[in-house]
Homo-oligomer: A and B are copies of this chain.
């Protein structure tokens, strides 16, 4: 008993102060904590409850006293700025954005079936949708002197987290300056998630929310912002979270040859029924559910569903709000940050014993998902967005 308690609060274990997690989360790694909700739960709500929102931590969760919290800003003409949480909440208008975040490694398990890759074995649920509130990054940068003079030189906005590894290195990432300062970029310094203070696992007290951009750039426990001529020099910006040709292996990879992932490609997955589920023949039909989303503010405009492995297709119904409630008004072009849930009920093909369910989405730039994983396979297993396939039995 004593032994266990000691282990839980072991000062030598930097993860011992991590917060409690919802027991339904499927754990891919416990230190650092990485977990995703069960697929069927994921699409029960248009806005993912915070406790079920996928958690992707690179390092131990830092313990931050909100009264002592300071956000540093560098690279603007007036010199370094230090903001308290109160400053951020009171000096700038509060903006609210509903945005889906997706891990670069979502659906890595499907890529692993082609050939083993390096990384957490995420299923289809390293993606979730929330309502975020906070100060607009544009407002904050403009307030402290951002203008054409800075824009003429700087090209990136770097973020540093307050989470650190044993050597003291912080998590870090950057985004292009034009995304950071665009009125239509909707980048937030968020202090609320779904109407409450950010949970500890999601970056309390402040994180960046970069709508339409890979999760890895939405830096949590934000400690510092640097407006710079350079991208973040962090491991995660320079040597990770990049896509390569399937021909590239660990011996031939040249990190400089590929751009850091920012906007993500179009994605969709089936959340119900599950792989191997049994569909009752007497029901005479099958209901298929899932989600679809695209990066860069591109709206999902169609989801096609197949029961026969992709030979014939049916158009699913899209849902852009909680079921039974009014859907959200259509977003302005290029600012569709939130996913669509979708659903379709299709008559069972006569005599079918097994069905291969497939979904594929199309976004407002008419990009579609690739048919298969092998041709987009890459050594880190990121950007896994081929058609999602689920086999079920009819009995």
Check if A107 is an interface residue, CB within 8 A of chain B: no
Check if A371 is an interface residue, CB within 8 A of chain B: yes
Shortest CB distance A122–B (Å): 17
Contact of A304 among B247, B312, B365 (CB under 8 A): B247
Check if A376 is an interface residue, CB within 8 A of chain B: yes
Shortest CB distance A268–B (Å): 13
Residues of B within 8 A of A315 (CB): 245, 247-248
Check if A200 is an interface residue, CB within 8 A of chain B: no
A301 to B, closest residue via Cβ? B259
Complex CA gap A263/B336 in Å reads: 15
Known A-B contacts A178-B332, A302-B258, A370-B371; the reply to A313 vs B365 at CB < 8 A is: no
Within 8 A of B (CB), among A230-275: 243, 245-248, 258-259, 261-266
Check if A179 is an interface residue, CB within 8 A of chain B: yes
Complex CA gap A369/B258 in Å reads: 18
Contact of A263 among B310, B312, B364 (CB under 8 A): B364
Check if A296 is an interface residue, CB within 8 A of chain B: yes
Q: Contact between A367 and B265 (Cβ–Cβ < 8 Å)?
A: yes
Complex CA gap A245/B366 in Å reads: 11
Q: Contact between A364 and B302 (Cβ–Cβ < 8 Å)?
A: no
Give the dominant DSSP class at A's interface: loop
A365 to B, closest residue via Cβ? B263
Check if A368 is an interface residue, CB within 8 A of chain B: yes
Known A-B contacts A176-B333, A334-B178, A375-B310; the reply to A366 vs B261 at CB < 8 A is: yes
Chain A: residues with CB nearer than 8 A to chain B?
176, 178-179, 184, 243, 245-248, 258-259, 261-266, 295-296, 298, 301-302, 304, 310, 312-315, 332-334, 360, 362, 364-372, 375-376, 383
21 of the cross-chain contacts (CB-CB < 8 Å) are A243-B302, A243-B362, A243-B366, A247-B312, A247-B315, A258-B301, A258-B302, A262-B333, A263-B366, A264-B366, A265-B365, A265-B368, A296-B296, A360-B375, A367-B367, A368-B375, A368-B376, A369-B370, A370-B371, A371-B371, A371-B375
